[in-house]
Chain A
């Protein structure tokens, strides 16, 4: 049919100027999101909009520390997004654990579980720093180098191995069986205490 590669510059322009962010505010960095979206540092002029449904969103902001409980939900949401998708890591916690470098329940090295495209250091980075990071992300998209999703698809065994090592195999079903009765207020006897 049509050779879409001819239109790559236009499509990349569209992709970089209309990134939709999954409204998933992990950790303490979520507090930095409202200043970015509101009148002073207006993020909507770049076309970025928060969007509650992952099926329509491309950009995932990991704003702050990540615990195993949160990491499970991040992985499930990340896999629900359609390609191409990008991950932006705010703060020092996703990089190397940040101020929780010696905690027993914070993930120190996020890149082992989810591919990260751009990382912004700081505890919390100011909005200007975040804008800088977003500018770098747009540059990566324009030159076609924002390929975190490709890395995830190609090295899926590596990522899956790391995830299973952390949570144990079959963690989705076990988490479902533990949490859905609680949400639906039907307490049942569930064996195993893992979250």
Chain B
């Protein structure tokens, strides 16, 4: 059978089988196999990306087409890798076959979105993915799932309207044909001839797509579903949810650029050195970085902290896409990859902690570094990667993004991006201090380390973090192939952008040399004896384990006080208020118009018949 069909439909079939065969051991094996198939094929198809593989599924009236090119393969690789790790961890934390069905269905949907070759397939698989992830959230919490569903549906309807407009004017859904038509339009508009879409219509299509992809990617005013949805679901699934599903929004934005970029650039004009429509996306992305990061530092629940952190990191990718040059798009794609890797790793760590200790707020945890050393080592790698510390992949992608943004003379965006990296430090230290260090509450004295499947999943992601960090040239080569020209130069270990260079291997060697020198000085001193955590200076008062002296609640109280004014503005409340207003309106209608009284219904009928009679129908 065609490989693309296998890649897209294998997880779905495996999910259905796992749901039907409800035996504990077998459904795990079927599920993991179903997730391993796309990963294996993605690795095999690496050589064949240039061949123009495609697959057409004809369903009577219309056709679903899939195709594979270098851009698709990049996203397919991310989706398959993180999806596989998440499903592998689901082996331990999955509660019942319901979760297996919908997790695998959403993986199928994601891969379908990435491989789609026309807008109808894109939309259908988008809806499958949204539906499956909605069901995963519904299993845990109704209010969070309702918010997610409403916002996603709002975005999906926006996309449907835009799709309808395009089909009505151009008569086709196929990506290649739409791209050709849009190019012709762009040239026609540049020379003042007649175009199929008027200026207002193309701006409308742009806004509709912005809303649709912005909801999925968690852009600033539309991000309110993300914290609740990412926290109220199975945390292993959240690794895939925030690592992969949000990348479909990113992929949508890139599609927007590829299909309509030239047209919108000519219609709306430029702004300093980028296009106006791109600058809007980038500015909203910058706001997302700041808002997501600051709110992450103030959270008390470990899952919500990482949910806001996800939103903040996606802001980086949006900034990269918005700036619009080849280098910044490559930077955005690079950051998409590294975000999927380290955020997937973080959510798996959270899943392990929640699974083993059963606690989710920081106030209940502490001192877990001795009891869960493997998980702590993985957390160390993930923390270094997110904070952007040199030999790991997070730094490479952030560095390319900074250089891309700043070299385009956009100081405001550059300042926002710089701010975002410090915010990363802030909430990571909060996470580390509250969870891994300090006094341990007595009910956590018996926690065990991560179970085998989760340990393997975490190790896979951490390994990729480290390898791609030391050899960023591997990723740069793939990105250059997507764009067809050598935007990022250098060899396997060096990224050379012309106006700046980054040598990962030299950093690694000199860091190890520095640590060795420090180690020599360390070992020349007297031997150190280990003291328990109660032997600590508390102004000379004796300390026992009965009282908790570690600060786990309200760790960043001064930040909350500094930002007190800004925290009162909240889009979440705005949406709630709009929802409440709509409910009131419905209540009014129910009381006055649909009031259940047969006489008023008879009146309505009579009036309508009179109007129709007068009209001569």
Contact = CB atoms under 8 A, between A and B. Distances in A.
B544 A73 contact: no
Contact of A80 (B535, B544, B546, B547): B535
Contacts of A129: none
A180 B540 contact: no
A119 B543 CA distance: 31
User: Which of A2, A172, A177, A180 has most B Cβ within 10 Å?
Assistant: A180
B537 to A, nearest CB: 6
A24 interface: yes
A181 interface: yes
A3 interface: no
Contact of A2 (B524, B541, B543): B524
B60 interface: no
Contacts of B535: 80
Contacts of B558: none
Contacts of A73: 540-541
Contacts of B547: 176, 180-181, 184
A172 to B, nearest CB: 4
Contacts of B544: 172-173, 176-177, 180
B542 interface: yes
Contacts of A184: 547
A175 B540 CA distance: 11
A53 B524 CA distance: 24
Interface in B506-549: 524, 535, 537, 540-544, 546-547
B540 A176 contact: no
A63 to B, nearest CB: 15
A50 B535 CA distance: 22
A77 B540 contact: yes
Contact of B537 (A55, A74, A175, A183): A55
A55 B535 CA distance: 11
User: Which of B535, B542, B544 has most A Cβ within 10 Å?
Assistant: B542
A55 B547 CA distance: 23
B540 A24 contact: yes
Nearest to A82: B526
Nearest to A1: B524
Contact of B542 (A53, A176, A181): A176
Contacts of B543: 176, 180
Contact of B546 (A24, A53, A177): A177
B540 to A, nearest CB: 4
A176 B546 CA distance: 9
Nearest to A186: B547
A184 B535 CA distance: 19
A190 B543 CA distance: 16
Contacts of A176: 541-544, 546-547
Nearest to B541: A179
A22 to B, nearest CB: 9
Contacts, number: 42
A14 interface: no
B524 A173 contact: no
A76 interface: yes
A1 B520 CA distance: 11
A52 to B, nearest CB: 9
Contacts of A72: 542
Interface in A140-189: 172-173, 175-177, 179-181, 183-184
A183 B546 contact: no
A54 interface: yes
A87 to B, nearest CB: 15
Nearest to B523: A1
A55 B541 CA distance: 15
A179 B543 CA distance: 10
Interface in B294-330: none
Interface string A67-85: 0000011101100100000
A20 to B, nearest CB: 14
A114 to B, nearest CB: 13
A163 to B, nearest CB: 13
Nearest to A70: B540
Contacts of B537: 53-55, 77, 80
Contacts of B546: 176-177, 180
A73 B547 CA distance: 19
Nearest to A184: B547
Contacts of A2: 524
Interface in B113-172: none
A76 B524 contact: no
Contact of B541 (A53, A54, A74, A183): A183
Contacts of A24: 540
B17 to A, nearest CB: 56
Contacts of A80: 535, 537
B542 A173 contact: yes
B593 to A, nearest CB: 59
Contacts of A77: 537, 540
Nearest to A73: B540
B541 A180 contact: yes
A172 B542 contact: yes
Interface in A4-55: 24, 53-55
Nearest to A24: B540
Contacts of A74: 540
15 contacts: A1-B524, A24-B540, A53-B537, A54-B537, A72-B542, A73-B540, A76-B540, A76-B541, A172-B542, A175-B542, A179-B541, A179-B542, A180-B541, A180-B543, A180-B544
The 6 closest A-B pairs by CB, nearest first: A73-B540, A172-B542, A176-B542, A176-B544, A77-B540, A180-B547
Given A77-B537, A180-B541, A181-B547, 16 more contacts: A2-B524, A54-B537, A72-B542, A76-B540, A77-B540, A80-B535, A173-B542, A173-B544, A176-B541, A176-B546, A177-B546, A179-B541, A179-B542, A180-B544, A183-B541, A184-B547
